[in-house]
């Protein structure tokens, strides 16, 4: 891992006690450069189109001028005002599945944050459960309740009915949307795809939706593990295929969400999550060796040393792990993503700036993708989201 750059200086406009307003036309934020000898100097941020998107270059450990930045759930950041374009779109198309399974709507929503904030990553608007109908698992996403699995998988017979997912047949709109996004973004940012991890998908399907105590899937894991292993293997094969499909249609990096794996103890993670994640990575790397894979598991502090064993290129840290400590625990051969607390975006612009600089300094000047430690929260002030991007894109190593 490269040596962290020296302490970053906040531009004067963002120091406590100074106004952050710059009049009707906002001035570009001066970039902060950390030189080899630790000198800090300001310069105007450079903007341009590269042959390889900045995010991909950073993940691969290439020398970059600043950390790339994007936000999980950044499409949702357009919901911060009632008049926001995403809010209006939701009123016209109230069903989440309609919004996420229609090519035109997927492209429009995916591009909304790109057009406003110009992040370095444009992530496909979708859901980790989108493949389920193609695996013979009917579901819906109910407003105010979340995902609902109509027939939870709790017996060997039910799991035997689960089919292998063929994305070309079931989600052609995903491939079409990714191709359009690549054309629209034109390498000025990386187009990101994503999938759910086997244990997280299994958790939804066994529990019947979201859960607070995960008692049903743990009962299966500890009393009938062979049934759960059968289900996990089916998700593993299907998600490996889904990642390859996304890559073949334009995704330049893919994030794997294992949101519920951190409900497992370390020994159970090693049985019910780790080997299946490694299978996915191994399978994808056989056919797409240059495709960056990012692993995100919220609340993963207790499992951190185990996550690089999956073989992913990037571990996305949540905000409960100190970035500098996370770097040490993960080792020097893996990139990191994160990890500003989403709640910070409810703070003052000065406070947001300080947390960004602190995170970037601790992450070092190589192999870091700046992001939140979780998805952006509904109600976050849009001007604070804009400020986050402005400050982040103004940094120079």
Query: Is the model's pLDDT at 40 over the cut of 70?
Result: no
Predicted local confidence at residue 51, as pLDDT: 83
Predicted local confidence at residue 24, as pLDDT: 37
Q: Which range is least confidently modeled, 8-12, 13-17, 262-266?
A: 13-17
225: left (phi over 0), alpha (psi -120 to 50) or beta: alpha
Q: Following DSSP, what letter does each residue of 123-156 receive, concatenated?
A: E----TTTTGGGGT--EEEETTTEEEESS---SH
Q: What is the pLDDT of residues 169-190, one digit of tens each?
A: 999 999 999 999 999 999 999 9
β-pair partners for 148? 140, 209
β-pair partners for 191? 122
pLDDT-derived band at 23 (thresholds 50, 70, 90) equals very low
Q: Which two tokens stand for residue 380?
A: 């976050």
Give percent of the chain above pLDDT 90: 75
pLDDT-derived band at 216 (thresholds 50, 70, 90) equals very high
Domains and CATH numbers, the chain: 54-394 (3.20.20.210)
Residues with Cβ < 8 Å from 316, sequence gap 6 or more?
255, 294, 295, 296, 297, 336, 337, 338, 339, 369, 371
Whose structure tokens read 């930045």?
69
Q: What is the pLDDT of residues 314-335, one digit of tens each?
A: 999 999 999 999 999 999 899 9
Per-residue pLDDT, averaged over 34-57, amounts to 54
Residues with Cβ < 8 Å from 265, sequence gap 6 or more?
none
- From the list 98, 153, 160, 152, the residue with the least C-alpha distance to 130 is 98
Q: Judging by DSSP bridges, how do beta strands 253-257 and 293-296 pair with one another? A: parallel
Q: What is the pLDDT of residues 67-105, one digit of tens each?
A: 999 998 776 555 444 446 777 777 788 778 888 899 999
CA–CA–CA angle 374, 283, 100 (5° rounding): 45
Query: Is the model's pLDDT at 4 over the cut of 60?
Result: no
Q: What is the CA radius of gyration of the chain?
A: 21
CA–CA–CA angle 231, 232, 234 (5° rounding): 65
Q: Following DSSP, what letter does each residue of 49-105 receive, concatenated?
A: --SS-HHHHHHTT---SS--B--TTGGGGGGSSTTSHHHHHHHH---HHHHHS-HHH
Query: Is the model's pLDDT at 27 over the cut of 60?
Result: no
Predicted local confidence at residue 1, as pLDDT: 41
Cβ neighbourhood burial of 8 (10 Å; 0-12, 13-18, 19+): buried
Q: What is the pLDDT of residues 341-364, one digit of tens each?
A: 999 999 999 999 999 999 999 999
Residues with Cβ < 8 Å from 37, sequence gap 6 or more?
none
Whole-prediction pTM: 0.86
The runs of H, that is alpha helices, within the chain are: 54-59, 85-92, 96-100, 103-117, 156-160, 167-170, 172-185, 198-207, 215-223, 225-248, 266-272, 274-287, 323-330, 349-363, 382-394
Per-residue pLDDT, averaged over 370-375, amounts to 93
pLDDT-derived band at 293 (thresholds 50, 70, 90) equals very high
**Kind and range of the H or E run holding 40:** strand 40-43
Residues with Cβ < 8 Å from 381, sequence gap 6 or more?
80, 345, 346
Q: Look at residue 39 and give its three-state secondary structure.
A: coil
């Amino acid at each position: 891992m490269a040596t962290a750059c020296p302490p970053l200086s906040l531009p004067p406009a963002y120091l406590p006690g100074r106004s952050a307003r710059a009049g009707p036309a906002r001035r570009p934020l001066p970039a902060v450069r950390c030189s080899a000898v630790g000198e800090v100097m300001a310069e105007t941020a450079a903007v341009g189109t590269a042959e390889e998107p900045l995010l991909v270059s950073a993940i691969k450990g290439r020398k970059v001028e600043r950390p790339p930045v994007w936000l999980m759930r950044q499409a949702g950041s357009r919901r911060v005002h009632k008049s926001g374009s995403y809010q209006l779109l939701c009123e016209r198309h109230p069903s989440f599945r309609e919004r996420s399974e229609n090519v035109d709507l997927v492209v429009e929503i995916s591009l909304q944050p790109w057009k406003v904030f110009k992040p370095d990553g444009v992530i496909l608007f979708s859901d980790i459960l989108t493949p389920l109908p193609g695996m013979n698992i009917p579901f819906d996403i109910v407003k105010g309740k979340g995902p609902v699995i109509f027939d939870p998988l709790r017996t060997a017979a039910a799991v035997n009915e689960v089919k292998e997912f063929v994305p070309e047949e079931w989600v052609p709109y995903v491939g079409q949307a990714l191709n359009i996004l690549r054309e629209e973004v034109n390498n000025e940012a990386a187009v990101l795809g994503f999938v759910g991890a086997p244990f997280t998908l299994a958790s939804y399907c066994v529990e019947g939706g979201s859960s607070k105590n995960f008692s049903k899937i743990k009962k299966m894991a500890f009393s009938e593990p062979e049934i759960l292993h059968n289900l996990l293997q089916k998700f593993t094969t299907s998600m490996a295929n889904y990642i390859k499909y996304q890559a073949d249609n334009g995704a330049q990096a893919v994030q794997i969400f294992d949101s519920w794996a951190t409900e497992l103890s370390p020994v159970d993670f090693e049985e019910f999550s780790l080997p299946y994640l490694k299978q996915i990575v191994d399978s994808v790397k056989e056919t797409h060796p240059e495709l960056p894979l990012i692993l995100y598991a919220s609340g993963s502090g207790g499992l951190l040393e185990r996550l690089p064993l999956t073989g992913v290129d990037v571990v996305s840290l949540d905000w409960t792990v100190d970035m500098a400590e996370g770097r040490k625990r993960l080792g020097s051969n893996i990139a990191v993503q994160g990890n500003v607390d989403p709640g910070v975006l409810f703070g003052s612009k000065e406070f947001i700036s300080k947390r960004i600089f602190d995170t970037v300094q601790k992450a070092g000047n190589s192999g870091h993708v700046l992001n939140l430690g979780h998805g952006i929260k509904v109600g976050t002030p849009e001007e604070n989201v804009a400020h986050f991007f402005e400050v982040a894109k103004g940094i120079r190593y």
